[in-house]
């Protein structure tokens, strides 16, 4: 691998920064050079947030437009807001959940409209409940899916599992791995 | 010989700076929280042998470090870029007096304005005050340059500025950390002939400042590096150097000499040696042409005719990105760099600005403030806003921040609005901001009899930067206002609908007495409350009572309240924290809380 760029998009409070940090930690432990760029402060409170993770032979902390290999959207609308970062060959892991902004009277995209726009990329539409059930952690489940689909080429699952502080997260991550193994062909067909 | 203590650790640039200060024997560290600078002091607070404090503002923080450095201590002062404006009065003097120990100022800038009112380039303070400015290019260099800054400061006896930014301070990367050294506190000493800037002394200090500046020029001359060779050169400054290196590698452009510097003021004169034989050079730096202009002057001084390009190709606004680097390199070298067209035009993606959190007392304050003003007979006023989470009151549906320009500006601007229009304004200021720079303007409002309604939104913390403390925890704002001479002072609970009545009574008093009245809207930051006490209650909407009137989701806009397809409201059980603020907002009594109140709940909100 020369370099790998992962953009995580979502809403402040969803654990976007935590997800970015875990990916960076896991690659760092394996000896890859990493940069993970976050925004804090006012931009976090329920607003649109993204985290840039760059791994490998990199110097700049921000991903270039059309430079991301993977876009993880923890909220579906946020995939649209960040789509210009994704390379033509990139893949989208989309949490199938739409959350309206806390502004009055705004038009909100339906999930079907979003997936229609995104259909020219490899898009994996993920239903968290299906992955982790009622008690699991949605974001960690999606991380498990992305691990199995991509990061497992470079890392072992233990590189991630040791970073989680509690069993719920470990179980959710493993559920994501199982989900990908079971569903990958089906998911790919819907792209 | 300094040995590494450990393998590289993944850390934020801000943590790397803190560890650099520890490796330099920092003893005193003071700051005012401000994104993206906050984590430096927070990291140092974990070390008990270092004195750390959140000061009431940046000027006080700076003077704390300055005073300590007068005693020979090693001191660090941190703030965001705009904090430099507050500290600048003493900062300029510190360059005249110099210091006896070491004084390092970290100013964290915010190009692109992720959470700031401007992206001013603080390196101008270095030029203006003859204070060196070091500019790291990644978290590792932030650590190393902090050590460099302390060494420079103590060897010359002069303040040193480190200029970082969002993409250094809030970037996590691997950092090799040098071992912590025992803190170097000062010892009591007096030198009024150096530190008391009456004209006679200031004139002498000015000469010494100029002498030190010459020394600084030679001690920073090594902060230049270069790679490759060619008749054209690209000079990257700070983080731009990182982008330039990767861009040229990715684009497979060779025969270009890459020069980098991490000292933007004074631009090291050794840069001339790197440019001998070069025909033209492109300077890539964030914000203003601070290095570019110094380079042009240096070239003229040295009789060199080298074409310098910079801001004409890179532009001024925003943070450095690969796109900007690619575009300017392409114009500079006359090569075509393929840019992928934006794949889809997505102009209709709804904006998602940050929102006040579920349970945020400011939402209720804004909601009932508007109601109270109407009750008090004020249909139209000027909401003179200020800096904090409550700045979000600028957004619809509240629209209750008609200006917000700098910390503590609400009262001064309100004064100008009233004097020029005779419209009674409303000044809105947070508790931390009140003590930061609100007090002098409050004294002015009392002294000059300004008819104004002042609403202090006291959420018991400096919430926007992560719930750091505020003087409001030990000084009662109502008492302080009374002490300054405000005749009408009331405390109200923004969750209580009677807060509107408190507002209307105060407004009537202002109209009658033509003097300032102050209301403290007092309730804790919701994030802090749920950190202390786990919520056990949750709000529900009774769909039989809900009429779909839209007030709760369109005029109160708690993120936990959602609109159903039939226009009735529904509350997200995941997002609701059970604060109950929405209960009195519903005119049809359709919202109720369910579950038992957890122990300590009310105290957490009001203490």
pLDDT tens, residue by residue, B444-463: 999 999 999 999 999 999 99
> What pairing do the DSSP bridges indicate for beta strands B280-284 and B307-309?
parallel
Residue A29 has a pLDDT of: 92
**Position B338 confidence tier, pLDDT thresholds 50, 70, 90:** confident
Inform me whether the C-beta atom of residue B112 falls under 8 Å from chain A C-beta atoms. Answer: no
Separation of first and last alpha carbons in chain A: 25
Residue B386 has a pLDDT of: 97
Closest by CA position to B16, among listed B144, B121, B128 = B144
Inform me whether the C-beta atom of residue A111 falls under 8 Å from chain B C-beta atoms. Answer: no
Instruction: Please answer whether residues B461 and B497 qualify as being in contact, where contact means their C-beta atoms are separated by less than 8 angstroms.
Output: no
Could you give the ipTM of this predicted complex?
A: 0.95
Residue A189 has a pLDDT of: 47
Domains of chain A: 3-133 (3.40.920.10)
CA distance B588 to chain A (A): 20
Separation of first and last alpha carbons in chain B: 52
Q: How many CB atoms lie within 10 A of CB B232?
A: 17
Judged by CB atoms closer than 8 Å, whether chains meet at A41 and B114 is answered as: yes
**pLDDT of A103 above 90:** no
What's the token pair of residue A5? 């760029």
**pLDDT of B4 above 50:** no
Residue B342 has a pLDDT of: 67
Please give the average per-residue pLDDT across B209-237, as a whole number: 97
Residue A78 has a pLDDT of: 96
Residue B3 has a pLDDT of: 43
Give B-chain residues touching A81 at CB under 8 angstroms: 346, 349, 352
> What pairing do the DSSP bridges indicate for beta strands A48-56 and A34-37?
antiparallel
Inform me whether the C-beta atom of residue B556 falls under 8 Å from chain A C-beta atoms. Answer: no
**Position A191 confidence tier, pLDDT thresholds 50, 70, 90:** very low
Residue A41 has a pLDDT of: 64
pLDDT above 70 covers a percentage of chain B that reads 99
d(CA B260, CA B238): 8
**pLDDT of B300 above 90:** yes
Angle at B123 (CA atoms; ends B45, B151), nearest 5 degrees? 55
pLDDT above 90 covers a percentage of chain A that reads 81
**Position A1 confidence tier, pLDDT thresholds 50, 70, 90:** confident
Q: How many CB atoms lie within 10 A of CB B468?
A: 18
Orientation angle between helical segments B83-97 and B58-70, nearest 10 degrees: 20
d(CA B67, CA B61): 10
**pLDDT of A98 above 50:** yes
pLDDT digits (tens, 9 = 90+) for B515-546: 999 999 999 999 999 999 999 999 999 999 99
Point out the least confidently predicted range of A145-149, B3-7, B26-30, B398-402.
Answer: B3-7
Inform me whether the C-beta atom of residue B162 falls under 8 Å from chain A C-beta atoms. Answer: no
Judged by CB atoms closer than 8 Å, whether chains meet at A61 and B171 is answered as: yes
Judged by CB atoms closer than 8 Å, whether chains meet at B396 and A103 is answered as: yes
State which H helix or E strand residue B310 sits in: none
B173: closest chain A residue by CA: A35
Contacts for B327 with CB less than 8 Å, ≥ 6 apart: B313, B337, B339
Please give the average per-residue pLDDT across A34-57, as a whole number: 87
pLDDT above 90 covers a percentage of chain B that reads 94
Instruction: Report the mean per-residue pLDDT for chain A.
Output: 92
A105: closest chain B residue by CA: B554
Judged by CB atoms closer than 8 Å, whether chains meet at A41 and B555 is answered as: no
**pLDDT of B7 above 90:** no
Closest by CA position to A89, among listed A114, A118, A66, A73 = A66
Please give the average per-residue pLDDT across B119-129, as a whole number: 98
Residue A85 has a pLDDT of: 95
pTM, two decimal places = 0.96
Closest by CA position to B77, among listed B29, B38, B36 = B29
**Position A10 confidence tier, pLDDT thresholds 50, 70, 90:** very high
**pLDDT of B6 above 70:** no
Judged by CB atoms closer than 8 Å, whether chains meet at B464 and A41 is answered as: yes
Residue B62 has a pLDDT of: 98
**pLDDT of B196 above 50:** yes
Residue B111 has a pLDDT of: 96
Inform me whether the C-beta atom of residue A67 falls under 8 Å from chain B C-beta atoms. Answer: yes
Inform me whether the C-beta atom of residue B182 falls under 8 Å from chain A C-beta atoms. Answer: no
Judged by CB atoms closer than 8 Å, whether chains meet at A104 and B35 is answered as: no
Inform me whether the C-beta atom of residue B348 falls under 8 Å from chain A C-beta atoms. Answer: yes
Give A-chain residues touching B348 at CB under 8 angstroms: 107
Contacts for B104 with CB less than 8 Å, ≥ 6 apart: B21, B24, B75, B76, B77, B146, B149, B150, B153, B159, B160, B161, B162
**Position B337 confidence tier, pLDDT thresholds 50, 70, 90:** confident
**pLDDT of B10 above 90:** yes
**pLDDT of A190 above 50:** no
Please give the average per-residue pLDDT across B505-511, as a whole number: 98
Instruction: Report the mean per-residue pLDDT for chain B.
Output: 96
Residue B177 has a pLDDT of: 96
């Amino acid at each position: 691998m020369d370099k790998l760029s992962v953009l995580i998009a979502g809403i402040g409070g969803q654990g976007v920064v935590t997800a970015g940090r875990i990916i960076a930690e896991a690659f760092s432990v394996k000896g890859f050079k990493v940069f993970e760029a976050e925004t804090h402060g006012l931009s976090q409170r329920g607003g649109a947030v993204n985290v840039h993770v760059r791994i490998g032979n990199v110097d700049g902390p921000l991903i270039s437009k059309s430079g991301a290999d993977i876009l993880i959207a923890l909220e579906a609308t946020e995939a649209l807001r960040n789509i210009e970062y994704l390379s033509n060959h990139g893949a989208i892991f989309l949490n199938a959940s739409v959350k309206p902004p806390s502004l009055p009277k705004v038009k909100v995209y339906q999930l079907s409209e979003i997936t229609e726009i995104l259909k020219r990329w490899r898009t994996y539409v993920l239903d968290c409940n299906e992955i982790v059930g009622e008690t699991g952690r949605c974001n960690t489940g999606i991380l498990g899916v992305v691990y199995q689909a991509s990061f497992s080429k470079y890392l072992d699952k233990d590189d991630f599992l040791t970073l989680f502080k509690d069993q719920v997260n470990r179980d959710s991550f493993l559920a994501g791995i199982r989900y990908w193994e079971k569903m990958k062909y089906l998911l790919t067909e819907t792209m | 010989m300094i040995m590494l203590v450990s393998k590289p650790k993944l850390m934020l640039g801000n943590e790397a700076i803190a560890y650099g200060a520890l490796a330099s024997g920092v003893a005193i560290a003071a700051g005012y929280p401000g994104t993206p600078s906050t984590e430096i002091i927070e990291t140092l607070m974990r070390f008990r042998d270092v004195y750390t404090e959140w000061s009431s503002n940046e000027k006080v923080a700076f003077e704390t470090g300055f005073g300590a450095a007068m005693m020979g201590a090693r001191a660090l002062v941190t703030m965001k870029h705009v904090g430099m404006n507050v500290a600048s009065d003493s900062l300029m003097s510190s360059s005249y007096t110099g210091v006896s120990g070491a004084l390092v100022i970290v100013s964290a800038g915010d190009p692109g304005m992720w959470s700031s009112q401007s992206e001013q380039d603080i390196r101008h303070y270095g030029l203006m005050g003859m204070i060196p400015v070091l500019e790291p290019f990644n978290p590792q260099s932030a650590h190393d340059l902090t050590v460099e800054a302390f060494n420079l400061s103590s060897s010359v006896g002069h303040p040193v500025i480190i200029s970082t930014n969002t993409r250094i301070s809030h970037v996590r990367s691997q950092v090799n950390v040098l071992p912590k050294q025992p803190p170097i506190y000062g010892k009591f000493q007096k030198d009024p002939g150096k530190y008391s800037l009456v004209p006679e002394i200031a004139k002498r200090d000015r000469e010494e400042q100029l002498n030190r500046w010459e020394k600084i020029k030679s001690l920073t001359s090594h902060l230049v590096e270069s790679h490759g060779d060619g008749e054209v050169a690209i000079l990257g400054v700070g983080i731009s150097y990182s982008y330039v290196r990767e861009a040229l590698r990715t684009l497979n452009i060779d025969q270009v000499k890459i020069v980098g510097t991490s000292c933007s003021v004074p631009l090291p004169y050794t840069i001339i040696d790197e440019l001998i034989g070069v025909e033209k050079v492109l300077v890539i730096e964030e914000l203003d042409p601070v290095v570019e202009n110094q380079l042009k002057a240096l070239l003229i001084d040295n009789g060199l005719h080298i074409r310098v390009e910079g801001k004409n190709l890179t532009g001024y606004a925003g943070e450095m990105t690969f796109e900007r680097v690619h575009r300017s390199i392409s114009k500079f070298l006359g090569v075509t760099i393929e840019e992928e067209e934006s794949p889809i035009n997505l102009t209709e993606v709804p904006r998602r600005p940050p929102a006040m959190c579920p349970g945020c007392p400011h939402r209720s304050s804004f909601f009932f403030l508007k109601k109270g003003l109407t009750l008090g007979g004020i249909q139209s006023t000027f909401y003179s806003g200020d800096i904090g989470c409550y700045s979000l009151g600028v957004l619809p549906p509240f629209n209750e921040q008609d200006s917000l320009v700098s910390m503590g500006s609400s009262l001064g601007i309100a004064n100008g609005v009233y004097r020029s229009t005779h419209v009674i304004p409303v000044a809105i200021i947070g508790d931390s901001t009140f003590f930061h720079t609100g007090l002098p303007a409050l004294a002015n409002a009392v002294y000059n009899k300004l008819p104004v309604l002042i609403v202090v939104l006291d959420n018991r913390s400096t919430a926007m930067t992560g719930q750091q403390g505020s003087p409001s925890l030990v000084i009662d704002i109502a008492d302080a206002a009374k002490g300054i001479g405000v005749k009408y002072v009331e405390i109200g609970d923004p969750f209580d609908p009677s807060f509107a009545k408190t507002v209307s009574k105060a407004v009537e008093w202002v109209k009658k007495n033509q003097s300032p009245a102050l209301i403290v809207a007092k309730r804790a930051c919701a994030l802090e409350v749920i950190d202390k006490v786990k919520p056990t209650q949750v709000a529900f909407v009774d769909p039989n009572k809900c009429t779909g009137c839209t007030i709760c989701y369109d005029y109160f806009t708690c993120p936990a309240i959602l609109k159903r397809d039939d226009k009735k409201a529904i509350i997200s059980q995941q997002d609701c924290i059970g604060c109950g603020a929405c209960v009195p907002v519903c005119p049809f009594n359709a919202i109720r809380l369910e579950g038992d109140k957890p122990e300590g709940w009310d105290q957490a909100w009001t203490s």
